[in-house]
Structure 1
C-alpha cells in the first residue's frame, strides 16, 4: 500500500546579499544560491527520511528533486545514490560493521546515511575512491558536523582498501555451511526473505534460480507505461519514443527520460504501470461468464492503476466499474485515474470492502488486489525489504482472507474473482486461496495461465506467478475463482 509520509527536509537556504551586488538597502530580497552538491544532499535527506519516518523513496525522491530544482546529471546521480544505497544496504552494513570499532547499531542515525552513501560510491560506482571519500565527507561536515565527519572519514577510508568482491568474501558467511546467510549478505536481503523466496520458487536456498531472483531485485527496473484503453494506444507511445511491450497489448517500455515528459502521460491518457499488473487485471476480463457482464468491482483500488485499465476495458464493453478504496486520499487518486474512461465507465467511492455497502451477488467480475508484504516489488521499493519482518504476512493474513471471502460473496453465481498480490510469499498466495476455498463449497479455481497465453513459464499450478528474473516484471501472483 502506498506510503503518504511527509519528508523531513528543510527548504534550500538562500544566500545573503553582498556589497556591490546591486541590492538597494537592507530590505532588498536576497538572491537564491544553489546548494553545494545538491545530488548528494538530496540522496542523504531521502535516506534519512526512509530510515527515520518510513518514507517511501519512490514518492519522496521525485518530489524532493522537483522542489529543489535538481535536474539533469545531478538528478540522475541523486537517483543512483539513493536507490543504490537502499538496494545494497544489507551488504554495505555488513562491510561497515567490520570497519567501525563498535557495533554499527550504536552509530548515530544521522551518520548512517552518510556511511551508506559513501560505501555505495566506493564499492558500486565508477567514482574514483579519493573523489567519493572527499565528496562524502564534505557533505558530512554540512549535515552532521565537523566532529562526526572525522569518524565517517576514518570508516570510509577503511572501506576503500578493498573492492566489493573482496569485502563480501570477508564478511559473508560461508556458502557451504550457511547458504541463506551467504546470499543474504551477497545480495542484500534479510534472511527471512531469502528463505521465503526460496520456498516460493520451490528451490533449495543455494539454487542458481534463487540467486538470479535476488540479483534481479538489485537491478534498476525498466519504466513500463500503460496506454489506457480507448484513450491512447501503444502506437501513440511508440511514436513518442517508447518501445512496444513484450506481453501486454497495452504496454510500452520507456527506454530513457522522465515519464512525466511523455505527452500521453501528461494528458492522463497513459500512466506508469508494471506489465504484470496490467496482465493480472487483463486476465480477469478474459474469463468467459454466462449471462450479464455489466457490473465490475475493484475492491482495493488505490492508487488506481488496475482500476484505470479495467474501467477502460469495461467502457468498451458497455460495462461499469465500481472502484472502492477505504482511504479517502487514495480514493481521490483512484478517481483521478479512472476519470474520462470510455463512456465514463469508472466510478470511485470511499468504502471498506471488508464491510461492503453493496448486496451479495451484485457483480459479474471482482478484483481483489489485496494489501500484502510487497515482496514482489523489491526492485521498485528496495526499502520495503528492510521495514518488513517475518511477522508481517501473519499480521496481514486476516485482512487478505476477509477480502477474498467478501469478494466471493459479492460475486453472482457464474461470475469471476481475481485474487492478486504483489508478493510471491506462499502464505499470501496459494496457501491463502486454498485456506479460503477449504471452508467454502460455492467457488472453484479457474486455471489462470489459460487466460494469459502470451506469457511463457508463468503457471504456478492452477495459479499464475510472475518473476522479475524470468519475465522482467514485478512478482505478481494471480488466482482466478468462479462463483458456483
Structure 2
C-alpha cells in the first residue's frame, strides 16, 4: 500500500526530473494510491510545503551535510527535502521524520545511501528552522540573499517583485508579498454567469461577482453535479476575463477570440458571457493535450465554442474580432501560491524569450481587431518586462492606432467592493492584482482598444 509520504516523494521527484506540474500530478497520484481523506491532506501538505521551500531546505541540507545540495544524488536530495520539511515545518515526530526519510532513500537509492541520509537528518533535527535560518543568514552576502533563504524565493524573483511593487510606490510591501506567496490559497470557485448561480450556503468572493469560496472539503463533487458550470478558478482569473467582457457594453453579434486558451478557466467565463449577450467565442490553444482541457472547460456552456490548435501568432490572422483575450505564456511569478515549483523552474534567462513571444502574440491580436475592438493582455506575472515592457513595445509598433482603457476603473466597476489598485508610475491604465493585497494571483491586466481608422 502506497503511503502519503511515498506519494509526496513521487510527485516531488517527478517535478524535478520531468518538469511535471504538481497541481496536475498530485490529484492523480492520490487517487491511484487510494489514500484516505486524512492521508490525502497529509500528502498535499508534504508535497506543496516541500516544493514551496526547496531553496531554504537546500541551504539547510547543505549546511548539515557539509556539501552543496547539487552535489547530492538527486533522489536522495528529494527525500532529504521532504524530511527537512517534516522536521522543520510540521508536527511529525522527529524520529518518524528521520526513519521514514531513511526508508525512502533506501527505496530510491539503495542501502549505500542510508547512512548518509540518517546522519544528515539527525543533524537537521538538532536545530529548529529559526536557528537554521539565523546560521545561514549570517553567511549571506547581501540582504536579498537573506530574503531568499528566509522566504524561499530565488534572488532574481525577489528583485523582480520589488521592482514591480516599486512601480506602484509600494516597495515596502515586499515581505508581505513573499509571505503571501508561501501561504496556501483558499479554494475559490466560479459560477459561470447565466449558466449557474452561487450555491446556497457558500460565501461569495468579495471582488468577483461570479466567485465563491467553499466552506471546506473537496470541490470535485460540486463540479461534477453542476456538469462543470461550477468550477475552481482564482478570483484574479475571473476578474481578468470579466474585464474584457464587461469593459464596454456588448453588441449582439460580436466575435470574440481567446488566443492562448488553456487550461480554459477564462475561456469558460468568456463563453458564458458571450452566450448571455448574443456574442460568439472562438478559442485557440497550440498544444493538443491542453486544447482538450479547453474543450472540457467550455462543455457546460450552451452552443458551440470551436477550439483550434494553432500557433496564436498565425491563428489571430484568420478573422476579425471585436474582443480578444491574450492570456500570454509567462514566467508564472504571480501564481507561486498555487504552483510553488515555478519559482525554482524559471530563470532570468527565460524572460527575453517569453517577452518576445508575448509581444508577437499581442501584436497579432491587435492586427486582428476590428476598429474599436478591444484586446485584453493578461499575464499571471507582475514582472515589468512581461507587462509594461511588452505593451510599450506593441504600442510602438502601432503608433496612433491604440489607446489604453483604464483597466483599474473597469475592474472597480465589475467588483462587488472597492479594489485597491494604485496607478502605476508610468501613467498607464494597467491593473495589477496581488496575493497580499487582493487575495488573488498577481494578475496583470491591460486593455487596449484599436482606434477606428481615420477617413
5+ residue gaps, structure 1: 1-33
2:335 and 2:85 map into 1 onto residues whose CA distance is 22
Q: Deviations over 1:48-67 (max 9, x none)?
A: 11111111111111111111
Is 1:338 equivalent to 2:298 in the alignment? yes
Greater share of helix residues, 1 or 2? 2
- State whether residues 324 and 374 of structure 2, in contact with CA within 8 Å, keep that contact through their aligned partners in structure 1: yes
Please, which of 177, 184, 195 is the counterpart of residue 213 of structure 1? 177
* Deviation for aligned residue 1:141: 2.7
- State whether residues 311 and 345 of structure 1, in contact with CA within 8 Å, keep that contact through their aligned partners in structure 2: no
Please, which of 98, 106, 121 is the counterpart of residue 156 of structure 1? 121
- State whether residues 227 and 300 of structure 2, in contact with CA within 8 Å, keep that contact through their aligned partners in structure 1: no
1:203 and 1:152 map into 2 onto residues whose CA distance is 46
Match of 1:354 in 2: 313
Match of 2:341 in 1: 383
Match of 2:187 in 1: 223
Please, which of 211, 215, 225 is the counterpart of residue 251 of structure 1? 211
2:358 and 2:138 map into 1 onto residues whose CA distance is 36
Match of 2:258 in 1: 298
Please, which of 407, 426, 444 is the counterpart of residue 403 of structure 2? 444
- State whether residues 332 and 381 of structure 2, in contact with CA within 8 Å, keep that contact through their aligned partners in structure 1: yes
* Deviation for aligned residue 1:191: 0.7
- State whether residues 319 and 345 of structure 1, in contact with CA within 8 Å, keep that contact through their aligned partners in structure 2: no
5+ residue gaps, structure 2: none
The CA RMSD measured in Å over matched residues stands at: 2.1
1:260 and 1:404 map into 2 onto residues whose CA distance is 35
Is 1:369 equivalent to 2:333 in the alignment? no
**Higher alpha-carbon Rg:** 1
* Deviation for aligned residue 1:277: 0.4
Report 1:77-156 matches (<5 A).
77-156=42-121
* Deviation for aligned residue 1:220: 0.7
2:253 and 2:349 map into 1 onto residues whose CA distance is 40
* Deviation for aligned residue 1:354: 0.3
Please, which of 249, 270, 276 is the counterpart of residue 230 of structure 2? 270
Which SS does the other structure have where 2:64 is aligned? coil
Match of 1:458 in 2: 421
Misfit runs of 4+, over 4 Å:
263-266, 289-293, 357-360
- State whether residues 296 and 320 of structure 1, in contact with CA within 8 Å, keep that contact through their aligned partners in structure 2: yes
* Deviation for aligned residue 1:203: 7.6
Match of 1:474 in 2: 441
* Deviation for aligned residue 1:460: 4.1
Please, which of 257, 264, 267 is the counterpart of residue 307 of structure 1? 267
1:173 and 1:434 map into 2 onto residues whose CA distance is 42
Report 1:182-197 matches (<5 A).
182-197=146-161
Is 1:64 equivalent to 2:29 in the alignment? yes
Which SS does the other structure have where 1:117 is aligned? helix
TM-score by length of 1: 0.87
Structure 1, 75-84 or 262-271: larger mean CA deviation: 262-271
TM-score by length of 2: 0.93
Q: Deviations over 1:2-32 (max 9, x none)?
A: xxxxxxxxxxxxxxxxxxxxxxxxxxxxxxx
Please, which of 385, 393, 398 is the counterpart of residue 356 of structure 2? 398
1:131 and 1:208 map into 2 onto residues whose CA distance is 41
Q: Deviations over 1:413-452 (max 9, x none)?
A: 1111100000000000012101210221211111101111
Q: Deviations over 1:29-82 (max 9, x none)?
A: xxxxx24xx111111111111111111111111111111111211111111111
Please, which of 272, 285, 288 is the counterpart of residue 325 of structure 1? 285
Please, which of 274, 281, 287 is the counterpart of residue 241 of structure 2? 281
2:60 and 2:326 map into 1 onto residues whose CA distance is 42
Structure 1, 182-191 or 280-289: larger mean CA deviation: 280-289
**Higher RCO (CA 8 Å, separation ≥ 6 residues):** 2
Q: Deviations over 1:72-129 (max 9, x none)?
A: 1111111111111111111111111101133221110110111001100110011222
How many residue pairs get matched?
442
- State whether residues 252 and 279 of structure 2, in contact with CA within 8 Å, keep that contact through their aligned partners in structure 1: no
